[in-house]
Amino acid sequence: MIDEKCSGYGLTELIKKIKRKNIVGLEIGCAEGNTTFHLLSNILNLKLYGIDPYSEYIDWNGYDLNEDHMNRTIKKFYEKIEPYKDRHFLYREMSDNVIDKFEDESLDFIFIDGLHTYDQVLKDCKNYYSKVKKGGIFSGHDYTAIEEVNKAVIEFATDIKIPEIFDVDVDVWYWIKP
């Protein structure tokens, strides 16, 4: 399977700098599994959780992701991660419904790339920030590409007094949790 640039491509080198025997991460929004595959194939000591309901919806750009589309998407996801299924666990739920599955300060990083609305990005930030360990990576995708994502991330960072939001390859935003 070819590993091309994906949504989370810019995260790899950041995650590799985490000096722990085992790294635990969370990806909100898995789609076809390109980022999931990339992270699991490049970070061998990674256990990765994913959250994606794979239910139909209208995407941020107006594209109708109907039931047939989502069925093809989840099939591609499972095919991609097959070699890594022992290090990945998928919650087929809305992110709002599985917050309690993760203890506070239990994750080394979070990557938010789910529903790209202002309300949901802000809610994911508020709901999951406490789950990241001190010194862990809080991150997401589409910071410059989608105005509502940008607005939500800046608002949340301002509210919790994060002085600077960084970006890396493929429009990934992040900061290290103080």
> What are 23's two structure tokens?
């790294």
Query: Which position has the higher pLDDT, 59 or 139?
Result: 139
User: How much is the average pLDDT of 79-87?
Assistant: 96
Question: Each residue of 146-159: pLDDT tens digit?
Answer: 999 999 999 999 99
| Domain annotation covers residue 17 | no
Q: If 0-12 CB within 10 Å is exposed, 13-18 middle and 19+ buried, where does residue 80 land?
A: buried
| Domain annotation covers residue 3 | no
pTM (two decimals): 0.94
| Domain annotation covers residue 11 | no
Count: domains in the chain = 1
Q: Has residue 126 got a pLDDT over 90?
A: yes
Give me the pLDDT at residue 3, please: 55
Q: Has residue 66 got a pLDDT over 80?
A: no
| Domain annotation covers residue 16 | no
Mean predicted lDDT score pLDDT of the chain: 93
| Domain annotation covers residue 77 | yes
Nearest to 115 by CA among 139, 155, 142: 142
Give me the pLDDT at residue 67, please: 84
| Domain annotation covers residue 18 | no
| Domain annotation covers residue 6 | no
Is-contact 29 51, C-beta < 8 A? yes
Give me the pLDDT at residue 62, please: 78
pLDDT-derived band at 2 (thresholds 50, 70, 90) equals very low
CA distance 134 to 144: 26
Q: Has residue 91 got a pLDDT over 70?
A: yes
Range of the domain at 79: 24-176
| Domain annotation covers residue 19 | no
The conformational region for residue 124 under phi > 0 = left, psi -120 to 50 = alpha, else beta, is alpha
Is-contact 99 126, C-beta < 8 A? no
Give me the pLDDT at residue 4, please: 66
Read off the CATH number of the domain in which 39 is found.
3.40.50.150
CA distance 139 to 29: 13
Give me the pLDDT at residue 169, please: 87
